[in-house]
Amino acid sequence: MPALVCHMAGLVDGIDVASAGELKVALDAGADAQEISFAGPAKRRVELQQAVAAGILINIESFREVAELASICDDTGDVARLAVRVNPDFELKSSGMKMGGGAKQFGVDAEQVPELLAEIGRSGMAFEGFHLFAGSQNLKPEAIVEAQGKSYELALRLAQSAPSAVRFLNLGGGFGIPYFPGEQPLDLAPIAANLAGIAERARRELPEAELVIELGRYLVGEAGIYVARIVDRKLSRGQTFLVSDGGLHHHLSASGNFGQVIRKNYPVAIGNRMLPAERETVSVVGPLCTPLDLLADRMELAVARAGDLVVIFQSGAYGFTASPQAFLGHPPCTELLV
């Protein structure tokens, strides 16, 4: 969302992009190219050409990318800035999605990284550091602390094979937000203490390195709400359905089809009936011709009628742009920064 990126660009120290399209949004928002990094397992040659021309940091995820970039630099005379995305030999425990450890399409397996670093050294391109991202949506500080500690130790070992000093060390993210009943906000105190210890060690052991963590969902997830209008109210064999004009084509993650193993309801309310009122158990569904189009399953909500507004909280991350917008040709939703 360009308006949100413009707002955040002046508040954060850098932006990570995953396509040439996102790179354009970041640059148009005024982000400093020196502080933009580019990750993703299928970077096309044209995207790598744009990244090199912009002068951003490219997180290498395969041997093919090194050869492609060397060819681009030979053609243009530019020097590409590189960091190696490492697929670690451990996982982030209790994470919503595991992005590292085991067999993964992301990054280069840790045991292959020394060979890759040698190839980067021979290429003459500018090696700057490492990127490790073990997993996402974690609410257990002890798991994040463990992953950050292991990531630092792994980077320290791999630095011995690096063609130049490590200047950039991305320890990943994983900071979660509470979505479902019983979940508690992430306790930052032990994470902060652990990072302070890592920073102190890095001053001695990797003195040129800037430490980076990725906080996308944590920064914006709780700031967003999704609003849909109820079109119809139906009773089917004892179950009440509120049929809305929005659904998984706008908010795939709220439907439970974006990584949930067992579907759980996001926090939902009838936005124009927030004061204490008569309540009932209902299901909120969208307009799509699929039973997957479910925004709330048997939730207790204020009694609602056609024209009322369904509000889904915790919608600031993985919302509209992570959803199948063109499915069945329904109108897109409008995004507003307030």
Instruction: Give the pLDDT of residue 106.
Output: 78
Alpha carbon distance 146, 319 (integer Å):
29
Alpha carbon distance 258, 272 (integer Å):
28
Domain shared by 200 and 290, yes or no: no
pLDDT, tens digit (0-9, with 9 covering 90-100), for 59-98: 999 999 999 999 999 999 999 999 999 998 876 555 555 5
pLDDT average, residue stretch 187-213: 97
Whether 215 has a pLDDT exceeding 60, the answer reads yes
Answer whether residue 181 is part of any domain.
yes
- Rounded to 5°, the CA angle 20-25-27 comes to 90
Lowest mean pLDDT among 44-53, 102-111, 175-184, 309-318: 102-111
Instruction: Give the pLDDT of residue 33.
Output: 97
Domain shared by 262 and 162, yes or no: no
Q: Please tell me whether residue 294 adopts helix, strand or coil conformation.
A: strand
The answer to whether the CB of 287 falls within 8 A of the CB of 243 is: yes
Q: Give, to the nearest 10 degrees, the angle between helix 63-76 and helix 113-123.
A: 10
Answer whether residue 336 is part of any domain.
no
The answer to whether the CB of 189 falls within 8 A of the CB of 150 is: no
Q: Of 197, 220, 243, at which residue does a domain stop?
A: 220
Alpha carbon distance 158, 179 (integer Å):
37
SS (H, E, C) 142-166: HHHHHHHHHHHHHHHHHHHHCCCCC
Domain shared by 318 and 193, yes or no: no
Domain shared by 216 and 233, yes or no: no
CATH of the domain at 96: 3.20.20.10
Domain shared by 115 and 130, yes or no: yes
Confidence band of 102 (pLDDT split at 50, 70, 90): low
Answer whether residue 25 is part of any domain.
yes
Instruction: Give the pLDDT of residue 100.
Output: 56
CA distances from 294 to 98, 199, 251 (A): 25, 45, 10
Helical H runs in 77-140?
Answer: 113-123
Alpha carbon distance 120, 336 (integer Å):
43
CATH of the domain at 309: 2.40.37.10
pLDDT, tens digit (0-9, with 9 covering 90-100), for 295-333: 999 999 999 999 999 999 999 999 999 999 999 999 999
Instruction: Give the pLDDT of residue 105.
Output: 75
Whether 213 has a pLDDT exceeding 70, the answer reads yes
Domain shared by 206 and 232, yes or no: no
Q: Which residues are CB-contacts of 112 (< 8 A; sequence separation ≥ 6)? A: none
* Residue 49: other Cβ atoms inside 10 A: 18
Q: In residues, how long is the chain?
A: 338
Domain shared by 45 and 157, yes or no: yes
Instruction: Give the pLDDT of residue 63.
Output: 96
Strands (DSSP E) contained in the chain are: 15-17, 36-38, 57-60, 81-87, 97-98, 108-109, 126-132, 135-136, 168-170, 210-212, 226-236, 239-244, 268-270, 279-285, 294-302, 309-312
Domain shared by 212 and 229, yes or no: no
Answer whether residue 296 is part of any domain.
yes
Q: Of 160, 192, 220, at which residue does a domain stop?
A: 220
Domain with 15, as residue range(s), is 2-220
pLDDT, tens digit (0-9, with 9 covering 90-100), for 107-163: 999 999 999 999 999 999 999 999 998 888 999 999 999 999 999 999 999 999 999
Confidence band of 9 (pLDDT split at 50, 70, 90): very high
Whether 285 has a pLDDT exceeding 80, the answer reads yes
Mean pLDDT estimate for the chain: 94
Instruction: Give the pLDDT of residue 165.
Output: 97
Answer whether residue 308 is part of any domain.
yes
Answer whether residue 335 is part of any domain.
no
Domain shared by 211 and 232, yes or no: no
Q: Given phi > 0 = left and psi -120 to 50 = alpha, else beta, which region is 182?
A: left
Domain shared by 126 and 250, yes or no: no
What are the structure tokens assigned to 284, written together?
A: 């909120």
CA 179 to chain CA centroid, Å, is: 16
Instruction: Give the pLDDT of residue 134.
Output: 80
Alpha carbon distance 104, 112 (integer Å):
13
Residue reference for tokens 């580019």:
38
Instruction: Give the pLDDT of residue 99.
Output: 56
Tally of domains within the chain: 2
Answer whether residue 337 is part of any domain.
no
Q: Which residues are CB-contacts of 103 (< 8 A; sequence separation ≥ 6)? A: none
Answer whether residue 160 is part of any domain.
yes
What are the structure tokens assigned to 329, written together?
A: 């040709």
Instruction: Give the pLDDT of residue 93.
Output: 59
Domain shared by 228 and 204, yes or no: no
pLDDT, tens digit (0-9, with 9 covering 90-100), for 236-277: 999 999 999 999 999 999 999 998 878 999 999 999 999 988
Q: Of 182, 199, 220, at which residue does a domain stop?
A: 220
Domain shared by 209 and 266, yes or no: no
